[in-house]
A = this chain, B = another copy of it.
Amino acid sequence: MKRVLFTPGPTEVPSEVLEAMAKPLIHHRTDEYRQYFLEATRLMQEHLATTQPVLTLSCSGSGAMEAAVVNLMSAGDEAIVVEGGKFGERWGLIAQAYGLTVHTVSVEWGRVATVEEVESALAAHPRAKVMFVTHSETSTGALFPVHDMARVARARGVATVVDAVTTFGVYDLHFDRSDVDGLVWGSQKGMMIPPGLGFVCLSPRGWDLVKGSKLPKYYWNLAKAKSALEKGDTPFTPAISLVLAARAAMLLLTEEGRDQVFARHQRNGDATRKAVRALGLSLFAEVPSNTLTAVHVPQGVDGAAVLKTMEQRYGVKIAGGQDRLKGKIFRLGHIGYYDEGDILRLVGAFEASLIDHGASAQPGAGVRAAQESFRSSRPSAAARVG
């Protein structure tokens, strides 16, 4: 049965990427592979507007998060963790696993921390070395003002590391122009390839912290990864087929143009949010992200049944809530390889399934709102993915 992923990761994989993985495997210690690997790296740098090395690790996004922690910190160091969801909490769990002293800025799930809250924490903990934050919290769909947070942190001499797992390829992260000192992300979101690669990019200030870090590391040794990259290598055998997939995907994103990619995500997010509101539903996140739209399950509707119908009748797979939000929200993902038609499919299936399960929404209202949103926001020369 046909099933399109509208989950906030993994996301839909373009056929060009699937084809890259389906070719006979090549060896990684060859000029051919090195050329592909360095091209993928260069395109990621261009996408991030950075001249800093982008390091490719064979792991999930959480592995890249751990790599950032163990390369920047030493045992006993103090860290500030800003969290309002499952993935913000993860920063704290990793930091605690390595014996760091963690000061948490915690906001209710769905809310975002403000720059003022972060400023207070920075003032209260003058010995903090690094602040770990989540850009778009995948469990709630909330977008944190990480660039503003990084600005106030830098003013106090604190480095900021951003979990951009779901925002790479969605938002302009303009790394070198920002005050962010570390970015981590994964492959199965805006990069439009399957999971299995994690990425880390550090600022010169970030690399200075690496020099002083004393936490134990071997597989996550970023200094080694940086040296190896200079020769087109990795310290360990890379996930070759995924690196070739990354190159294929970055070529697609580059061909579309980075501004167009970000604008398309904005339009897809706008259209989805307008559709949801037109159905009489309310958004969960205080500041909704263009990565995913989290929606309260309406009273009297069986959320799990809606998910099942969407998938089995309409071939559209979205996500429900995680942990404490289980059964309470829908998460409609629109990260990556989606065009207007895809969003109409998503919204159409969502609307139909809600009505199938007794919601009082007006049939067609969601899809009409999405269409209108696209019509009013369409760029003069229509830009399409791929």
Q: How many copies does the complex hold?
A: 2
A27 to B58, CA, bound (A): 19
Interface residues as binary, A215-256 with B (CB distance below 8 Å gives 1, 0 otherwise): 111110000000000000000111111100000000000000
Q: Is A18 an interface residue (CB 8 A)?
A: yes
B22 touching A241, Cβ below 8 Å = no
A219 to B217, CA, bound (A): 12
Q: Is A364 an interface residue (CB 8 A)?
A: no
Selected contact of A239 from candidates B94, B196, B218, CB within 8 Å = B196
Point out the residues of chain B lying under 8 angstroms from A115, CB to CB. Answer: none
Point out the residues of chain B lying under 8 angstroms from A25, CB to CB. Answer: 5, 10, 12-13, 194
A216 touching B7, Cβ below 8 Å = no
Tally of contact residues, A, Cβ under 8 A: 50
- Interface majority SS on A: helix, strand, loop or mixed? loop
The smallest C-beta distance from A60 to any residue of chain B, in angstroms, reads 4
Point out the residues of chain B lying under 8 angstroms from A24, CB to CB. Answer: 3, 12-13, 18
Point out the residues of chain B lying under 8 angstroms from A97, CB to CB. Answer: 216-218
The smallest C-beta distance from A7 to any residue of chain B, in angstroms, reads 5
Point out the residues of chain B lying under 8 angstroms from A190, CB to CB. Answer: none
Best-buried of A29, A30, A194 by chain B (most CB within 10 Å) = A194
A195 touching B239, Cβ below 8 Å = yes
B317 touching A27, Cβ below 8 Å = yes
Q: Is A288 an interface residue (CB 8 A)?
A: no
Q: Is A102 an interface residue (CB 8 A)?
A: no
Q: Is A119 an interface residue (CB 8 A)?
A: no
The smallest C-beta distance from A377 to any residue of chain B, in angstroms, reads 29
A317 to B66, CA, bound (A): 36
Q: Is A62 an interface residue (CB 8 A)?
A: yes
The smallest C-beta distance from A326 to any residue of chain B, in angstroms, reads 12
Q: Is A47 an interface residue (CB 8 A)?
A: no
13 interchain pairs (CB within 8 A)? A21-B21, A21-B22, A21-B194, A58-B60, A62-B218, A62-B237, A66-B218, A97-B217, A98-B216, A194-B241, A196-B241, A216-B216, A239-B242
